Amino acid sequence: MYGQIVRDGLVNVTGIEDLGLTSPVLQRTSDAFFKEISPFLLHFGMFVPTIIGQCTPEQQAKWLPLAMDLKIIGTYAQTELGHGTFIRGLETTATYDASTEQFILKTPKLSSYKWWAGGLGKTANHCIVLAQLYTKGVCHGPHPFIVQIRDTETHMPLPGIKVGEIGPKLGFNTADNGFLGFEDFRIPRENLMMKNAQVTKDGTYVKVARHGKLTYGTMVFVRVMLVSDMAYCLAKAVTIAVRYSAVRRQSQPKPDQPEPQVLDYLTQQHKLFICISTAHAMKLTSTWLWNTFTGVLADMRDGNTDTLPELHALSSCLKAISTSDTSALIEQCRFACGGHGYMYSSNLPALYSFATATRTYEGDYTVLLLQTARFLVKSWEQMDEGKPLTPTLAYLEQSRNGSQVSWDDSPEGIVRGFDAVAAGRIGACVKSIRKHINNGMDYEDAWQMTTVQLVGAAEAHCRAVICRVYRDETARLTAGCSPGVKAVLDQLSTLYLLYWALERTGDLLRFSSLSERDIENLQARYEALLLKIRPNAVGLVDAFDFRDEVLMSTLGSYDGRVYERLMEEALKTPLNREPVSDSFHKYIKPMMQGKL
Ligand SMILES: CCCCCCCCCCCCCC(=O)SCCNC(=O)CCNC(=O)[C@H](O)C(C)(C)COP(=O)(O)OP(=O)(O)OC[C@H]1O[C@@H](n2cnc3c(N)ncnc32)[C@H](O)[C@@H]1OP(=O)(O)O
Ligand SMILES: Cc1cc2nc3c(=O)[nH]c(=O)nc-3n(C[C@H](O)[C@H](O)[C@H](O)COP(=O)(O)OP(=O)(O)OC[C@H]3O[C@@H](n4cnc5c(N)ncnc54)[C@H](O)[C@@H]3O)c2cc1C
């Protein structure tokens, strides 16, 4: 299995390298090679971006050509057995020895071992290691080091290196995630990635970056990329589920009628059409986030880090919500396909196992939403002091006078309703924190006692951002479309708003003038819209334009020959090579004869 996946990975990488294809094509063609994950994912996904983001130009000149030409194969080893979220608590140390101008790497305890890095087990010969930097007896916190861990000729681990694979997981079982321990392992001073901080030959620590969190820059980049990845992953899953639902006929609602396509059931449309809308919503939001990200990078190149906090807050909540929504909706696609959705050959299990992992890696869901909440509460307090709000928080102003937003069920009105919910929930958090402090708690405890509400407020803020961006971008992009295309895409964006308004009626009743009658109207409009979308459902997923080789699904192939493909795959199963398994003769027959 590992050998096969490495072969496929190299064919994929070198083939595309030669063709000089860009990342969207890389993404689509990569999926034609693996159902799960390539052991080289971290090389291009984090090792190369970290060299670009954390190295000086001189260091880049040395390491980037080696990495891009695959002369070295890298990964990103930050998480340890004992710490993943709390980076400041990482235990691996890098202590500077001025007499030899080297750093000595140590993993002092078992819990200090690096754990999880993709490709680390058997594939990578280099890695980025996050370690607590000590020089002249002072700890300067976690810093990135580039470390060779295996001999590039023999691939043997270097002396002082303990490395291996961490074993089977829910998914990602071709990602070759590994563990790594250091026993007084020495690396040259120059292997500290010195864009944001340096150590001189005599061991003097020099802080370069104006912002203390630029070491975390690669994670922000990956979080931004993951939002787009999730749109792509969900689009594949709903293509499979909608195509299968168009082929599958089941039950007989009317005695004198043939079994209908399951796609004709309103409940099936309720399960699946939100998946089509969400794939579009996340794709448009990811493009908007990418443009925000590149804008902040440009500001930072000019020495201005003022927009970094908002980018961190946005990338955190959008990564959390996009991965959580995608995991839930891919599982919903699996449910919609009945038993055949549980077949590995449907590809829905692999898509689910990939998506659910993203909810955890690159920053756990809860932890990232609390990071966003920290920014929201700070913004509220700045608003109270009369300071200006950042663009994505302009809606907070409407909550200043405390008046309840009047409900209006137009698309723009629903977007304003979500703004009111976010403003109301942030305000409720601030009130809760202040109440606990007035009752004698210190700020940290008051914050902790409010964290359940804070996670909810961050989710509400993120939902409001997605709704607004999805609606605005749809309006902008369909301005030049034919009326037919515009109508269908407007239906999808309206469906997203109605779906989430119905999911959040409690909040809308609390923070707007929404009434029982309004809810009935929302429900009726939602159901009518499902029926309107039905005729275009297959066309909408065909428009995602996945080739069968990329979908790799017995249920989602373009020709709809589902039963033939399921049987073809079944007959390939090793157990079907012989009519009678040798276990019969070894175990079952003796058991039947009472000889066991
Ligand atoms: C081709 C490309 C493909 C791409 C796909 C590739 C897929 C690859 C597959 C991936 C496989 C998986 C690979 C992997 O999984 S790699 C490992 C991923 N690990 C994580 O994501 C760890 C998550 N933990 C953290 O990020 C930090 O520990 C957090 C943030 C939780 C706390 O941290 P810390 O305790 O140090 O900070 P603080 O909470 O005291 O806050 C202090 C201040 O700092 C600000 N702050 C915090 N963080 C940031 C930031 N990032 N930018 C800017 N600012 C930031 C913060 O707002 C606050 O500001 P203020 O409120 O004081 O003003
Ligand atoms: C498939 C996969 C691939 C990965 N690849 C890599 C890789 O290549 N490189 C790498 O370095 N890492 C990698 N990781 C590790 C990943 O980054 C961590 O698992 C992730 O950051 C979560 O940290 P943790 O596992 O320590 O969980 P923890 O942070 O221990 O989370 C456990 C629980 O504690 C809660 N919690 C933690 N802190 C707080 C808090 N402050 N407030 C409230 N609740 C809290 C969490 O919400 C969660 O419910 C990978 C993980 C997976 C699953």
Does residue 21 register a pLDDT over 50? no
* Cβ of 166 less than 6 Å from ligand 2: no
CA dist 262 and 269 (Å) reads 9
- Mutating to test ligand 2, I would choose from 38, 47, 85 the residue with most ligand atoms within 8 A of its C-beta, which is 85
Looking at every residue in the chain, the average pLDDT score rounds to 94
Mean pLDDT across the stretch 557-579? Answer: 96
The phi, psi pair for 311, rounded to 5°, reads -65, -40
Give exposure, 106-143, as e/b (b: 16+ Cβ within 10 Å).
bbeeeebbbbbbbbbbebbbbbbbbbbbbbeeeebebb
The C-alpha atoms of residue 486 and residue 473 are separated, in whole angstroms, by: 12
The ligand that comes nearest to the alpha carbon of residue 78 is 2
Could you tell me the CA-to-CA distances from 30 to 15, 24, 40, 540 in Å, in that order? 10, 10, 11, 23
Token couple for 281: 């919503």
Please identify, by atom number, the ligand 2 atom nearest to the C-alpha of residue 366. 47
> Distance between CA 243 and CA 239 in Å, rounded?
6
pLDDT band per the 50, 70, 90 thresholds, residue 30: low
> Atom 47, ligand 1: which residue's CA is nearest?
213
Work out which ligand 1 atom sits closest to the CA atom of 361: 15
The distance between the two most distant Cα atoms of the chain, rounded to a whole number of Å, is 91
- Please identify which of the residues 91, 331, 362, 459 carries the catalytic annotation: 362
Report which DSSP code applies to 395.
G
> Looking at the whole model, is its pTM more than 0.90?
yes
The answer to whether 381 is a known catalytic residue is no
Rounded to the nearest angstrom, the distance between the alpha carbon of 554 and the centre of ligand 1 is: 39
The DSSP line for 208-225 is --SSTTGGGHHHHHHHHH
Q: What is the pLDDT of residue 215?
A: 82
140 lines ligand 1 (CB under 6 A): no
Residues 332 and 316: their CA atoms lie apart, in Å, by 24
Find out whether the beta carbon of 79 lies less than 6 Å from any atom of ligand 2.
yes
pLDDT (tens digit, 9 = 90+) per residue, 530-556?
Answer: 999 999 999 999 999 999 999 999 999
Helices and strands (DSSP H and E) totals, the chain: 21, 11
Q: In this predicted structure, what is the pLDDT of residue 33?
A: 67
Higher per-residue pLDDT: 502 or 20: 502
- Which band of pLDDT confidence, cut at 50, 70 and 90, is reported for residue 392? very high
Q: Which helix (H) or strand (E) holds 103?
A: strand 102-106
Higher pLDDT, 511 or 215: 511
- 195: DSSP letter: S
How does pLDDT run across 41-53, given as a tens digit for each residue? 999 999 999 999 9
Q: Which domains does the chain carry?
A: 2-208 (2.40.110.10), 217-539 (1.20.140.10)
**For residue range 402-458, what is the model confidence (pLDDT) as tens digits?**
678 899 999 999 999 999 999 999 999 999 999 999 999 999 999 999 999 999 999
Per DSSP, the three-state class of 92 is coil
